[in-house]
Amino acid sequence: MGIVSAIGLDTTETLASLRAGRTGIGALTYLKTTHREFPVGEVKLSTEEMRQRMHIPENQPTTRTELMGMMALEQALQQAHVTSDEMAQAAFVSGTTVGGMDMTEQFYPDFLENEQHKEYISQHDCGACTESIADHFGRFASVTTLSTACSSAANAIINGANLLRSGQREIAVVGGSECITMFHLNGFNSLMILDHEQCRPFDATRAGLNLGEGAAFLVIETEASAQRRGAQPLAVLEGYGNACDAFHQTASSPEGEGSYLAMQEALADAGLQPADIDYINAHGTGTPNNDTSESQAMMRLFGEVLPPVSSTKSFTGHTTSASGSIETVICLLAMQEQFLPLNLGWQHQMDDGITPVTNQTPQRPLRHVLCNSFGFGGNDSSLVLGALPPAPSTTISPTPSATTPEVSTSGLYLTAATQISIQEPLSEQWLESPILYEEPYVRSLDPDFKQWLSAGESRRMGKLLKRALASALTAMQQSGVELPDAIITGTGLGCIENTELLLSHLCFEGEENCKPTPFMQSTHNTISSLVSIHTKCHGYNATYAHKEASFDGALEDAWTQMQLGRIRTALVGGQDEMTPDFFKMLCKTGVFGNPGQVAGETAVSIMMSREPSAAALCRLTAVKRIYQPTAAELAAEAKAIGAVDAVMTSVAGTADTEKIARAASLFPDTPLLQFKNLFGDGFTSFGLGVYTAAHILHRQQLPEAMLIPGYEKPQALRRLLVLNDINGKDFTFAQLEIDN
């Protein structure tokens, strides 16, 4: 484990602060903001000092979020003695929401008006942050980013654990990183939930949260891997749960339904009863809403025998996306040293609330610890950590509460697929005669949203949210699934239109009178939580925000959990919009504006099921992601796929010849197709490729415009491969089939 926060730059300093009851919250030092009235939990190093510590050259564009992540990751890799060869076989899963916002908010006027600082445009998104952290240390086998607001790092841990449980990886490095920015300081202030004093979680006088920053990463691995490497485990990840509160974008339900369900699932996954838990590290933000809701959820689950509970955000501040991994490390330290972290600042009992920890001495050994992380949109996650020695089972075991069902080797079923794009929306008639665009930038053709939204709802939502909801509800209706077990979304940029509104206000009007709606809708998981809130779906909920591989992460998550038998149905979405300003910015970096390339927008929703269905469009028979592969590794993955009738490439424009050459070398004598010429290029356009492949197979209809010049039409349409090649660095293989 590795950790960086306001109370220490490593585990030794962190432990000393916890034992001494020493908070890291204080006056602002490094963030450039007019709001000096709010105490925060800043890491006690300037960005330049961090850069020097990590030996980052001055000419390398690097953000504070990346630097903190590098510091924490270095500690974790060193403690686990992970070699470069082992790292090359491991997954790296990180959680963040602000990404490179600390630099974007400084240079946004330059991004718009001139060529200065344009190198930081490419560092803005969450996936760029994750890749910078990972690439600093060498090569990982796969890299992805979770962005579910304040539960991001906890969900990164869950994703990594599922990769281990499913046998896809033996080692995963998981966690998150997040710096304080002017953007989300003002965003939280617009919601009126920042305290002017040090926060007091679960206190009757609590008045809000203190923002914090930091990073933490953990190395998790299977028992077989640990034994083979001679590694010394710190603890066992016994179980985990994720649920959606499905109540409100920024508020928790009074009864804490989402947090209750997440904790309940985590306990069941671990094979434990509530009485087995010896300590709860609560989400405990110090806001009136959260602490009441979480108290109710804990009392519902644990009854009158509530274990010791504390919130360590009174030490670190609320480190938002990084809080799940930072607080997991704190839980591990508490288990190692057998002490209860204090709930600093608590003095007054809440009405119908809990009484948190004020004495470090536990009444019984800490053997099983529950750690809660809850995010905007009601994205609630809980982890159960077990002390060593573990019960006789694998380090990360299959769900003990139920036998993992066998998954048919015939694959999983795509039962519906819908889109809103630059083709005819929510229809497949465009296959007959698709529109071909020559403009470099085209916005989506929107349906009339009245059948899904009232006038009031429509006024409150940006266009991307309307598209996401309409495509999702249509897919659910077509599949006959009223409530899926999981709603999983990929979005590279989220509601970028709302992000720009808040950025513009901050940069050109100042920090006063910021409106809450743009901030609320700027978080990436607004999209998936909106669908859950609209449908009252309390199931698993996650959002992936990893550049052009965002939809890929969502698809892999659904595939993995279905293979494990954790879910039966999933709504997988890919949602991105492209504003005129952001299009111009990305043209400056070379992402757009290339010959023959069209920039488009994406709203795609795909329903997946483990259950066979005569009405299914096709079967999904393989999903594989690989990062920075060698030529031999890439060729081996292609060989494992086997013969296909055609390969749908991610070619974008006439200048994209390297992708064609790479696909041709991997799949010789195989017809190559394109789809971005029909839909435009974007951060989640791979989802449109999967959507198109499903309908081509189902309808046995292939538009002539998809043929790449020089290649003949496939003789059969039974087995298609959709290949996402992201600059020769990041690859996803998705194979779809129908029966002969």
Provide the annotated active-site residues.
150, 283, 318
The two structure tokens encoding residue 33: 């903001």
The number of angstroms, rounded, from the C-alpha of 693 to the middle of its chain's C-alpha atoms is: 25
Q: How many CB atoms lie within 10 A of CB 10?
A: 16
Rounded distance between C-alpha atoms, residue 559 and residue 561, angstroms:
6
3-state secondary structure of 724: strand
- How far from 359 is each of 19, 310, 344, 464, 694, CA to CA, in Å? 11, 10, 10, 49, 59
Amino acid at 370: L
Contact at 8 Å (CB) between 553 and 144? Answer: yes
- How far from 488 is each of 22, 155, 525, 527, CA to CA, in Å? 39, 12, 9, 10
Query: For 653, which DSSP code?
Result: S
Rounded distance between C-alpha atoms, residue 459 and residue 574, angstroms:
23
Contact at 8 Å (CB) between 126 and 96? Answer: yes
DSSP string, 120-161: GGGGSSHHHHHHHHHHTT---SEEEEE--GGGHHHHHHHHHH
Rounded distance between C-alpha atoms, residue 594 and residue 574, angstroms:
23
Rounded distance between C-alpha atoms, residue 594 and residue 657, angstroms:
12
Q: How many CB atoms lie within 10 A of CB 501?
A: 20
Q: Are strands 412-420 and 368-375 parallel, antiparallel or unpaired?
A: unpaired
The number of angstroms, rounded, from the C-alpha of 263 to the middle of its chain's C-alpha atoms is: 20
Amino acid at 154: A
Rounded distance between C-alpha atoms, residue 353 and residue 348, angstroms:
10
Please tell me whether the peptide bond between 365 and the residue prior to it is cis, using omega within 30 degrees of 0.
Answer: no
Residue listed under structure tokens 């020097």 = 52
Q: How many CB atoms lie within 10 A of CB 136?
A: 18
Rounded distance between C-alpha atoms, residue 377 and residue 501, angstroms:
20
- Helix count and strand count (H, E) for the chain: 24, 20
Rounded distance between C-alpha atoms, residue 222 and residue 235, angstroms:
12
Helix 496-504 / helix 182-190 crossing angle, nearest 10 deg: 90
Question: H/E element holding 286?
Answer: none
Q: How many CB atoms lie within 10 A of CB 4?
A: 32
Amino acid at 646: A
User: Phi/psi of residue 37, each to 5°?
Assistant: -80, -10
- How far from 662 is each of 204, 637, 653, 726, CA to CA, in Å? 62, 13, 15, 11
Query: For 714, which DSSP code?
Result: P
Nearest to 654 by CA among 670, 669, 674, 672: 674
Nearest to 541 by CA among 556, 518, 558: 558
Nearest to 698 by CA among 478, 550, 480, 488: 478
Rounded distance between C-alpha atoms, residue 395 and residue 224, angstroms:
8
